[in-house]
């Protein structure tokens, strides 16, 4: 197919999708209107889904979502909760949660806003789900260093670039590794003028996008080999329940965990996050409920984005802990 033909086909797909999903026309009516077969209309609608022209999202009923949100706000003092439907496929569930965060950003970001961006699969998925009609002159700044083992998709630098491209803003890289060998090396890097300037800008952010990690075998830190299986096992035994995107390890009560893994990440700290007006914690995996509970108890999270199952589990765990 020639380039001109491909463009024509894309235009036709867009027109058919608009007629079907926006105007409410039937496939038969569209076929008659455009002088093509109903089979071709169906085929092009399917392609429109596959190629991203059509984005269909199914959400929790507002009444159900509002009830869960109100209880989370009452228990943990957060400003809002973005609760997505559960899905059996982990990637689809991650996308469901990320799309709610993307919509929140599209509604709330103003020109000149600064967004501090973390790393991980959930944060990365937000950039893939952004659909905006009007460009925003926002700045997306890495709030944690990078890691070769993380790959492009999960690295904050690449996430910032993708977000900037979607919103029409700019991105800023933190020129430092995410993880260093010990606290002494961390202090030296934090004192570097280039690192310090970027982190100072991140500290002045209006919004922070962070993931919540757990200590499971499938966690980012385990898969990237940041810590040995023995270190992770010892941290669990010492009461470590998870981390806030590598910034700080925490226990179930939201207190700093007592583990040698602490204090080796180049990035913002919990005290830095506490000064950012809207800290958005994103966690879609159902293995992370306990980690999310610990993160909520730190008191620095303003917006929680997660699945319905996680939300119910968090509330149940908190109820048990109060008895």
- What is the pLDDT at residue 268? 94
- What is the pLDDT at residue 310? 94
By the 10 Å C-beta count (0-12 exposed, 13-18 middle, 19+ buried), 192 is classed as: middle
Specify the pTM.
0.80
219-223, long-range: CB < 8 A, 24+ apart: 220/119, 220/120, 220/121, 220/150, 220/154, 221/246
For the chain, residues with pLDDT lower than 70 are 1-8, 52, 55-64, 133, 216-224, 246-247, 321-323
Distance separating alpha carbons of residues 243 and 248, to the nearest angstrom: 6
- What is the pLDDT at residue 313? 94
Residues 6+ apart with CB under 8 A from 320: none
For 58, the 3-state DSSP assignment is coil
* Summary mean pLDDT of the chain: 87
- What is the pLDDT at residue 2? 45
- What is the pLDDT at residue 209? 97
- What is the pLDDT at residue 221? 67
Asked if residues 301 and 281 have their Cβ atoms less than 8 Å apart, the reply is: yes
50-59, long-range: CB < 8 A, 24+ apart: 51/10, 51/13, 53/10, 53/13, 53/14, 53/17, 54/17, 54/21, 55/131, 56/21, 57/96, 57/99, 58/85, 59/84, 59/85, 59/100
């Amino acid at each position: 197919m020639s380039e001109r033909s491909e463009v024509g086909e894309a235009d036709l797909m867009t027109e058919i999708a608009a007629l079907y999903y926006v105007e409410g026309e039937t496939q038969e009516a569209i076929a008659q209107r455009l002088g093509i077969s109903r089979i071709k209309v169906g085929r092009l609608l399917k392609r429109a889904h596959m190629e991203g022209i059509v984005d269909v999202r199914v959400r929790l009923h507002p009444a159900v979502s509002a009830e869960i949100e109100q209880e989370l706000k009452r228990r943990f003092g957060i400003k809002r909760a973005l609760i997505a439907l559960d899905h059996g496929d982990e990637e689809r569930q991650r996308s469901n949660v990320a799309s709610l965060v993307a919509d929140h950003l599209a509604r709330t970001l103003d020109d000149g806003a600064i967004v501090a961006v973390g790393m991980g699969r959930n944060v990365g998925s937000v950039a893939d789900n952004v659909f905006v009609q009007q460009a925003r002159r926002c700045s997306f700044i890495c709030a944690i260093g990078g890691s070769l083992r993380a790959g492009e998709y999960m690295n904050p630098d690449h996430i910032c670039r993708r977000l900037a491209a979607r919103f029409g803003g700019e991105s800023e890289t933190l020129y430092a590794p995410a993880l260093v060998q010990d606290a002494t090396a961390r202090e030296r890097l934090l004192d570097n003028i280039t690192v310090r300037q970027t982190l100072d800008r991140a500290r002045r952010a209006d919004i922070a996008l962070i993931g919540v990690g757990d200590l499971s075998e499938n966690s980012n830190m385990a898969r990237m080999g940041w810590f040995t299986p023995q270190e992770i096992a010892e941290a669990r035994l010492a009461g470590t329940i998870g981390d806030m995107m590598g910034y700080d390890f925490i226990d179930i009560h939201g207190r700093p965990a007592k583990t040698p893994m602490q204090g080796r990440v180049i990035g913002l700290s919990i005290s830095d996050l506490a000064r950012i007006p809207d800290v958005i914690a994103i966690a879609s995996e159902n293995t992370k409920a306990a980690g999310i509970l610990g993160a909520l108890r730190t008191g620095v999270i303003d917006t929680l984005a997660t699945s319905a199952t996680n939300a119910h589990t968090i509330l149940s765990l908190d109820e048990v802990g109060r008895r």
